[in-house]
Structure 1
Amino acid sequence: MTTQTGTTFTSIIDYHRRQYDMEYASTAKLLQLLEGMHGKKDGLSVLDIGCGGGANIHHLKKKFPTWHFTGFDIDSDAISLARDRNSDSEFGIYGIDDAVDWLAGKSFDIVLALQLATTPIRATTCIARYLPLVKQTFLSLDLYNEGPFENDLSRKDVRTGETHCYQIDSLETVKALAKQHSFECTAEPFEINIDLPKPPYGVSATYTELTADGRRIQISHPGILLPWYFVVLTRMPKDE
């Protein structure tokens, strides 16, 4: 998960709490996309996969007060925060695999899977597993490339031995999954609208640089390019 702020945190819970007070650029874009697709619909059901501390659900509830939200995450501390701040939503402490049993027999109008790139689960694996639960829209925000390649990148801090991994999936795989399950697929690069400074020596954080054609790209110090995409899978209507 990327902070998109160029700021480091003392803990993941720090990050989750801050999300409640500050609507991140990714959340603002998520709200914009859902407003365009489903803004006039009442009572929709939404599943947030890997919901963290529930901050995205908090912001979604303010925008869409009649919608019903469910979320799960493997981090019990994050789920405690989510339950405390979103008492009218349902949360569970599950990973990607065992949540399937928890959700057995359920389906959702909208399923969200946001920023799985630094978790052990590939975004494409999650999409394949959860598309059958989707009635209308699956929305992913993750690291993708437009070619037929998957990349696994790692960054090791030689001072501590700590390693962070990034998984970059192929959009071609997503498009194939969409076709297999009768969904349409669209993808657009996610470009934040603020400049993030390069962190000082020895500090790991996300920063931005401008390309020659004026695009703002995100980079994880020290130098891992982060090609974030919003991918929308829309269930195609059944033939009459």
Structure 2
Amino acid sequence: MNHCPNICKWGAVLLLVAVSAGCNSARPAADQLPGTSTSAPRFGQVASPPVQQPEKLEAGKPSQLAADAQESAKPVEANLTPDMPAPSTPAGAAGTTDKKVQTSSNPTPSETSKQPSETSESTYDAKKPSLMGLRLSDTKTTVKQKFEAPASEYEMDDDKDPLTVYEYEGFIVGFNRLNGVEFIEVTSKDINPGLNGLYLGQKVKDAETALGKPDTNTNYALHYKANGTVLKLDVDPKTETIQSIKLFAVKT
């Protein structure tokens, strides 16, 4: 019997089968993509979407999702150009004030009250005695021209000659029935009476320095007489301070 051809024939067939099986095992599985499932959907089922593998992060480098989140969290800046004016704050808004500032050009009411000039009427002249820049030869009209209308006005009873009194801030002026000045009296130490720098409340020695030696000097008053007038300074004998300053006519 001739068995050799049959054995060779079957040997060749087995060799072809082995080679074919080896080729199929070396082929990639269904051209699989990274991150996708290798199982095919059964008939009547919807294929599941491929599962996205988590992104690998390098050390010290934020992920793209984190970078996008940071970018979206940034505040949107106003699109202002250099030529656009800054928005103005409405009147009455919080943090704004609308107050009038007090300056030297805007004096307080007390500063606006008229006083004797430091250059022309603050020097006492015995030949032309005056107080507050007023003389006994002045009238109501001249007083109002210098000091405007008084703060108050009242009558002083006098059997011989009733007097009308104008009261200003820091001094008073009395007028006789002919509207002439009868007396002037200083009532405040904060006002300049026009006596060479002497003020109410100063000492007797200050009066002698400013006005010289008085014609009469008692423990209670100093008298300076000139041209039918008397400048009288009432004095506190205990403290030797000047309590009042008056200018009036000598009674005959």
Richer in helix (by share):
1
Report the TM-score, using the length of structure 1 for normalisation.
Answer: 0.23
Richer in strand (by share):
1
Structure with the bigger RCO (C-alpha within 8 Å, sep 6+) is 1
Report the TM-score, using the length of structure 2 for normalisation.
Answer: 0.22
| Bigger radius of gyration | 2
